[in-house]
Amino acid sequence: MMPSQTSDQLTQPQTDTLLQIENLQVHFPLMRGMLLQRRVGWIKAVDGLSFEIKRGETLALVGESGCGKSTTGRAILQLLRPTQGQVLFEQTELTNLTGESLRQMRRHMQMIFQDPYASLNPRMTIGDIVGEPLEIFDLATGAIKQAQVQQLLQTVGLSPEVVHRYPHEFSGGQRQRIVIARALAVRPDFIVCDEPIAALDVSVQAQVINLMQALQQQFGLTYLFIAHDLSVVRHISDRIAVMYLGKIVELGNRDALYNTPLHPYTQALLSAVPIPDPDLEATRQRIVLQGDLPSPTNPPQGCRFHTRCPVAIDRCRQEPEPLFKDAGGGHYVACHLVDDFR
Ligand code: SF4
């Protein structure tokens, strides 16, 4: 039997909110000089994020490469320590935790990385890879561990017979299943999925997404699903946060965001998503953004999207950054012109 999900879940009173992130910042020092290095600035990878993740939901975090979404995922799990801000997990502040208390809390939060080829030790057997977390956290040893490993492999659609084989004997999709089995071994509540299908063949992407959805149902998992475009997250997400240059610019329920995107950046990202209907696809108007993502060392003054925004006006350059506005129904957007878009 797969280990019971509920027996090891946290014992605090259960609320609707699993994670509360407040003003999260991750700034890296920018150093210069060959011998005597000195700090000449900051790379503002994550620059003040506030959002919550509800228990059992999938929140997608979407944006171009370099916008800070992977850094956000790592900072939530405390794999990178935030420069500022709060990360409350089941009402426990993670940024204050160290040592054994942080290690124990990490058991409840796992991460699945983009590249299943790089995230498995090529010298370990599949049985050792999936069983390692069970030993690290003293969850099972010996025959019980072996039985749990075999059960975990079956749960992700692999034969229990593969325990003696090595990662190089598997395809990309199978390796990602092994990575998922390893993450499930510690019976987590929350998983950060960092572009988990981006390195896979298109033919197996849907299989892995379907598996992740089935596991979410089966074990009551909560996902933060990171992706660089909106095409892959429609199927799996409940809500979507769109990130640009270290900030969330729009956040809303999936249908609201796809049907009535309010921020010009979201509109541009959506315009790149192919439409399955050939007639509609023929009429799709692509919004091509000019230029590259600006440097997070020195984000543009005013609205940080104004250098690429197709509808920017003087106000966007001159006034302080637009605040996050409630557009109703849990839909939030940071744009001076939001009323004009509705
Ligand atoms: Fe574009 Fe201005 Fe809105 Fe920023 S505030 S997204 S520049 S219209």
pLDDT tens for 18-44 read: 999 999 999 999 998 877 788 889 999
Specify the pLDDT at position 28.
95
pLDDT at 2 over 50: no
Pocket lining: 82 vs ligand 1, CB cutoff 6 Å: no
311: CA distance to ligand 1 center in Å?
Answer: 7
Query: Which structure tokens are listed for 139?
Result: 């969850």
Answer yes or no: is the C-beta of 184 below 6 A from any ligand 1 atom: no
Mean pLDDT of 274-298: 87
Q: Is the pLDDT of residue 215 over 90?
A: yes
pLDDT, average across residues 206-219 = 96
The maximal CA–CA distance of the chain, rounded, in angstroms, is 69
**How far, in Å, from the CA of 264 to the mean position of ligand 1?**
7
pLDDT for 278 equals 86
Instruction: Kindly give the distance from the C-alpha atom of residue 122 to the centroid of ligand 1, in angstroms, as a whole number.
Output: 48
Q: What is the pLDDT of residue 14?
A: 57
Q: Would you say 18 and 222 are in contact if contact means Cβ atoms under 8 Å apart?
A: yes
Testing ligand 1's pocket by substitution, the residue of 244, 249, 250, 309 carrying the most ligand atoms inside 8 A of its CB is 309
Residue 316 CB partners (closer than 8 Å, separation 6+): 302, 303, 305, 306, 309, 322, 336
Which residue has tokens 């992130």?
21
- Rounded to an integer, the average pLDDT of 119-141 is 95
Say how far apart CA 134 and CA 153 lie, in whole Å.
14
The rounded Å distance from CA 306 to ligand 1 centre is: 6
Higher per-residue confidence, 153 vs 286: 153
- Hey, whose CA ends up nearest to atom 8 of ligand 1? 312
Q: Which SS3 state, helix, strand or coil, does residue 151 take? A: helix
**With a 6 A CB cut-off, is 242 part of the ligand 1 pocket?**
no
Q: What pLDDT shows up at residue 166?
A: 97
User: Which residue has better confidence, 112 or 2?
Assistant: 112
| Cβ of residue 21 lying under 6 Å from some atom of ligand 1 | no
| Mean pLDDT along residues 58-78 | 96
Whether ligand 1 lies within 6 angstroms of the CB of 322 is answered as yes
pLDDT of 101 over the 90 cut? yes
Distance 217 CA to ligand 1 centre (A): 39
